[in-house]
């Protein structure tokens, strides 16, 4: 199959420092006979200047319109804006963390009208239920979380003035994590390593057993019953909501009444905000303006946590997605979806139709959510 044109536009969402591919990833695609067009300064936030892409055969373009028009395959990171989608060409393949189930209906309609094939990295799912692309970002975000929790519990940030690890005569911070997936597990291990007192809740006993093995006695695991949730939020210094249903809007776990049970200046982090949020009190924030106070509780609802580690995140993303991009470019769409069944499960919209069952069940994004944008 002859080489195809691939576009890497610059991310335009607030505080988004990642880019879809490192120069090494571009080099691999160029070596395979493909042409890769990189928008000017697309890699700057991750520390990859235009020259780094030129040196490996990438071609730099200087307008958003050209960045989209050049490629048969468009590789993004963050969920597309309406402006991004306005540049989408008929029949293009769009890949990225699209989060369509929590977004606006007009985005889905544009994808349908353009006959685009939209593949969401967060819904690429293997037969065993694992999410190979989302896994990498969740691991990185989980390992970043101690520095975020530690910062926003500080007195100068309006927090309770509690240190994660405590010290002799002073107990450590009490941190509650609801959701024992990849993020929740990595966050629990990282927080325990920082000597915080960690509690992990989930509805899946098997997931709790996996976390318990990783923690090796350095944390507490509990079933996420209403009783247990009410109990732990009342003594927590920080509560992390890490609930996830692949391809679906996140269910509400934290009602306003539950938030009200938290002590004043407790830190609440809604890690599920990119899929709509797991609390009635959550709304999108950014790294530049990360918190707000609701019901006396500090809310942190930043959807792209790993973006602040732009270079590391881009390396991890390239590692996870390059095999799929090589297949899409080298084999063509149908053959790639056959070669990688998990990639086929990541297709959200194709040929004017909504394909992913989670997106269909959510009414194709008919109503905007707390995280919808």
Residue listed under structure tokens 């990119």 = 274
The span from the CA of 212 to the CA of 218, in Å, is 8
What stretches of 254-346 adopt beta strand conformation (E)?
267-270, 291-294, 297-300
Cα-Cα end-to-end distance for the chain: 37
Count CA atoms closer than 13 A to 116's CA, side-chain side.
26
What are the Cα distances from residue 286, in Å, to 131, 230, 290, 304, 308? Answer: 25, 28, 5, 8, 11
CA distances from 299 to 124, 157, 233, 277 (A): 29, 12, 14, 12
Rounded CA separation 290/148 (Å): 10
Angstrom distance (rounded) from CA 365 to CA 9 = 25
User: Which one of the listed residues 99, 135, 248, 315 is annotated catalytic?
Assistant: 99
DSSP class per residue in 117-138: EEEEGGG---TTS--HHHHHHH
Active site residue 274: yes
Which residues lie closer than 8 Å to 196 by C-beta, 6 or more apart? 146, 149, 164, 165, 172, 173, 174, 175
Contact 286, 14 (CB under 8 A): yes
Dist CA 194 CA 114 (whole Å): 49
Could you give the C-alpha distances from 369 to 57, 79, 202, 227, in angstroms and in order? 41, 14, 24, 27
Given the residues 274, 299, 315, 356, the one annotated as active site: 274
Q: Which residues are catalytic?
A: 99, 274
């Amino acid at each position: 199959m002859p080489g195809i044109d691939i576009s890497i536009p610059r991310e335009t969402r607030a505080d988004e420092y990642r880019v879809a591919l490192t120069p090494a990833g571009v080099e691999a695609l160029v070596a395979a006979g493909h042409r890769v067009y990189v928008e000017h300064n697309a890699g700057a936030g991750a520390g990859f200047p235009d020259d780094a892409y030129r040196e490996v055969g990438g071609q730099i373009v200087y307008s958003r319109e050209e960045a989209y028009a050049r490629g048969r395959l468009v590789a993004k990171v963050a969920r597309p804006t309406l402006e991004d989608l306005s540049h989408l060409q008929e029949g293009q393949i769009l890949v990225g963390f699209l989060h369509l189930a929590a977004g606006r209906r007009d985005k889905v309609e544009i994808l349908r009208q353009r006959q685009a094939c939209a593949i969401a990295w967060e819904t690429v799912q293997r037969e065993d239920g694992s999410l190979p692309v989302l896994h990498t970002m969740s691991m990185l975000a989980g390992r970043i979380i101690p520095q975020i929790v530690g910062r926003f519990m500080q007195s100068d940030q309006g927090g309770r003035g509690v240190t994660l690890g405590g010290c002799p005569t002073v107990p450590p911070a009490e941190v509650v994590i609801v959701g024992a997936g990849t993020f929740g597990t990595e966050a629990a291990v990282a927080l325990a390593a920082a000597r915080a007192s960690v509690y992990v809740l989930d509805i899946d006993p098997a997931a709790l057993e996996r976390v318990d093995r990783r923690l090796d006695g350095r944390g507490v695991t509990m079933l996420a019953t209403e009783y247990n949730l009410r109990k732990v939020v009342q003594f927590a210094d920080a509560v992390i909501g890490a609930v996830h249903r692949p391809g679906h809007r996140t269910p509400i776990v934290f009602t306003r009444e539950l938030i009200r049970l938290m002590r004043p200046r407790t830190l609440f982090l809604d890690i599920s905000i990119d899929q709509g949020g797991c609390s009635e009190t959550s709304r999108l924030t950014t790294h530049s303006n990360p918190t707000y106070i609701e019901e006396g509780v500090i809310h942190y609802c930043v959807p792209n946590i790993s973006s602040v580690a732009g270079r590391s995140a881009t390396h991890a993303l390239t590692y996870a997605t390059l095999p799929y991009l090589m297949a899409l470019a080298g084999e063509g769409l149908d053959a790639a979806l056959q070669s990688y069944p998990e990639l086929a499960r990541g297709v959200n919209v194709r040929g004017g139709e909504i394909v992913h069952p989670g997106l269909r069940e959510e009414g194709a994004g008919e109503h905007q959510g707390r995280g919808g944008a």
